[in-house]
Amino acid sequence: MNIYPNPADEYSYIDINLTKSSKVNLTVTNLVGQTVFTKTYGNLASGNQKLVVNVSNLNSGIYFFTIQAGNERLTKKIIVE
């Protein structure tokens, strides 16, 4: 999983590679573990996918993006300016 730009101010892009088609869930949490945003992407095809996330409504700070697809879960840190 690759997230860019980092830091972000308006939109953030997430590149993922799915081993099989699956529903993808994104959860954004702040530093104290509160969920501030969730989004479900429909059944995405296997292979490389690019997800677009509007971060302009988030306050400046550090967040964690967690992607879950099937039994796989990845979390990465992002800074919002």
CATH 2.60.40.2550 applies to domain 2-80: yes
State the pTM of this model. 0.91
Q: pLDDT value at position 57?
A: 94
Q: What is the pLDDT of residues 21-61, one digit of tens each?
A: 999 999 999 999 999 999 999 899 999 999 999 999 999 99
Using a 10 angstrom Cβ sphere, with 0-12 exposed, 13-18 middle and 19 or more buried, the burial of residue 64 is middle
Tokens 């400046």, residue?
60
Residue 18's pLDDT band (cuts 50, 70, 90): very high
Q: pLDDT value at position 28?
A: 98
List the chain domain ranges.
2-80
